[in-house]
Amino acid sequence: MKKNWNIILISLPLLFGGMLGAQPATQFIKVMVAPDHADWNYKIGEPVTFKVTVLKDGNPLKDIQIKYEVGPEKMEPLKKDSIVLPNGSFSVPTVTSKNPGFLQCIVTVKMDGKEYRGLAAAGFEPASIKPTVENPSDFIQFWDKAKTELAKIPLDAKMTLLPDRCTENVNVYLVNIQNYRIGARLYGILCVPKKEGKYPALLRVPGAGIRPYTGDIASAEKGIITLEIGIHGIPVNLDPSVYNNLGAGALNGYWYFNLDNKDRYYYKRVYLGCVRANDFLTSLPQFDGTNLAVTGGSQGGALSIITAALDLRVHYLGAFFPALSDVTGYLHGRAGGWPHLFNKDNITFNNSKEKIETCGYYDVVNFARQVKASGMYSWGFNDETCPPTSMYAAYNVITAPKTLYLALETGHWTFPEQNEKMNNWLVERLKAR
């Protein structure tokens, strides 16, 4: 067994100029909302006023009617009203918060039968947000046992060359390896530089959903071994209709599967599969024995943190808007992380002792407590998929060196500047080593 591996969690699409999450298309009518502090941050009890402007062709729309509501993210609004804007702009009456967290202002406008929407969130001492999820007393023992069981299972790696995807400089393979529990397979697309030599490697972990993958050939062209994995134990090179059918059928809502049993919950095989993928990459003869990277956003952001916690070979990580963070927030009167297991739509089905207990073993918060890797994180205040309250609950418990780069107005997407900042942070550290 190789030792002293140096594993770097990086975002390779960022490193080589790609986009993690595309910026939304510009709307014909722009509903601009912003808190009255430039940094969108407030002290507890400090009043916030949201400024609203409705623009068409860059100019304020006069005599336009808006509807607005203000309240904690994902919760019932504290106030809501409608008003006609005589000059195209308006200041929502001041509100405040008595607790650390976020107040969100959502504004909608109807014009020519179409609805336009804008929002902004004010943060009240977010660095003081504490997690709500239970931290099981045997959390470390639970995952140590699982990793021990995984280590006893042979890789049984199968690599099938995909000639139609290969390039002059890169070989592309469909990879099929043995995952946690005999019979469960892990599939991915492996891209390896053809030129003889030793190379660093990248593991790409996916966001939520069911889809095919094509592999990261562009990065392999630059001298990086890449492995892009799926998490569902099915080949990743099938016709897209297969994934559409699974997403609407057998795998619909997979994040709920066996939530009442911590040993059988769907994500146990997924989390261990990320470790198993690292095992495979480090076994390749072309691997340089030192530099291994892993990245993802949303569910993939969660998996990046989780991989860093489970695999102490990791030295650095970079994560965007991690999902699966402090999911029990809804049980304590505030927003929880994706997949919103306990919001008003799901609480009746999921509010049981067994399911709440299972969450403690799989929540990013409790993995974040174990992270030793130096990391950079990035998100925005307007993320409605992964509410910032949930992400701060995880970020605030990390004791390892950490940097948070905020792009305040972003939702569940990134600006190119975010990607560039993360890229530079990671490149500097890669070069330093």
Looking at residue 393, what DSSP letter applies? H
Contact 296, 303 (CB under 8 A): yes
CA distances for 386 relative to 89, 93, 101, angstroms: 29, 27, 14
Residue with tokens 């990791």: 314
Residues 12 and 272: their CA atoms lie apart, in Å, by 22
Contact 33, 121 (CB under 8 A): no
Question: Which residue from 400, 225, 223 is spatially nearest to 314, judged by alpha carbons?
Answer: 400
Contact 403, 376 (CB under 8 A): yes
Residues 114 and 116: their CA atoms lie apart, in Å, by 7
Residues involved in catalysis: 298, 383, 412
Sign, Cα dihedral of 220, 159, 208, 242: positive
Cβ atoms within 10 Å, residue 425:
21
Distance of CA 87 to the CA centre of its chain: 40
Looking at residue 334, what DSSP letter applies? S
Question: Which residue from 165, 104, 148 is spatially nearest to 409, judged by alpha carbons?
Answer: 104
Looking at residue 27, what DSSP letter applies? P
Dihedral pair phi/psi, residue 363, rounded to 5°: -75, 140
Contact 342, 132 (CB under 8 A): no
Cβ atoms within 10 Å, residue 349:
12
Q: Where are the alpha helices (DSSP H) in 130-202?
A: 139-151
Tokens found for residue 112:
């020519």
Question: Which residue from 394, 274, 289 is spatially nearest to 338, judged by alpha carbons?
Answer: 394
Residues 262 and 354: their CA atoms lie apart, in Å, by 8
Report the Cα–Cα distance between both ends of the chain, in Å, rounded: 22
Torsion of CA 403, 14, 386, 205, to 10 degrees: -110
